[in-house]
Amino acid sequence: MSDDGAVIEWLHDVVGIDGFRRVVRRGPSGILVSKFQEGFAARLHETVDALPGMFDHDIVSSRFADFAAADPARARTESWRLAINAVIDEAAKTPGLARDAVAEVRAGVDSVAAILDTILWTSPAGPEARAPEPSEVAARDDILARMNADRGLFTRHYGMFEGVPVENHCPGAQVARRLFGQGWTICTGTPV
């Protein structure tokens, strides 16, 4: 099998990927690459562990209620995004948490909020929950299936190199799944 440099060269020259990539793991069943420096995934999960309030349903729901009541015309998904970021703001005051690491968590929250916005296209607003439309539930089910698939929403397949697939898997996929479930439940008033 070729060296890692050949894989990176193939990604650039054949697939057309610009920017940094590194080979994380390679074997007979596939090659895993990352666009992040070594240690990023561990640091991301350490940061998330230092922000436990972002997964506390009661804390986020309370903040959500405040934002939704303050602007009843605001989409519920945006109120959820603001609420979870407010919880992160409070936790980020903890000494030792790096600003850039917290910003990476916020980027993940923004991505999940964008998915929720896409699925909840009726844009429910205000403090009162409204059950989702059947088409929104179907879209949620589709997204959940894609989130949980082996090569789904959080995996990018670049192609085959020397007969094995080359893929990139989001290191924050597990966190995004939890946030999606929380956001859906708070925004719709229905469990995932």
On the question of pLDDT at 1 being above 60, the answer is: no
Q: Token pair of 3, please? A: 């060296």
Asked whether residue 96 carries a pLDDT value surpassing 90, the answer given is no
Q: What is the mean pLDDT of residues 20-38?
A: 91
How far, CA to CA in Å, does 53 sit from each of 47, 49, 63?
A: 12, 9, 11
Q: Give the chain's mean pLDDT.
A: 91
Q: For 85-94, what is each residue's pLDDT tens digit?
A: 999 999 888 7
Name the residue among 27, 31, 28 with its Cα closest to residue 10: 31
DSSP state of 11: I
The values of phi and psi at residue 184, to 5°, are -60, -50
61 within 8 A of 186, measured Cβ to Cβ: yes
Q: What pTM, to 2 d.p., does this model score?
A: 0.84
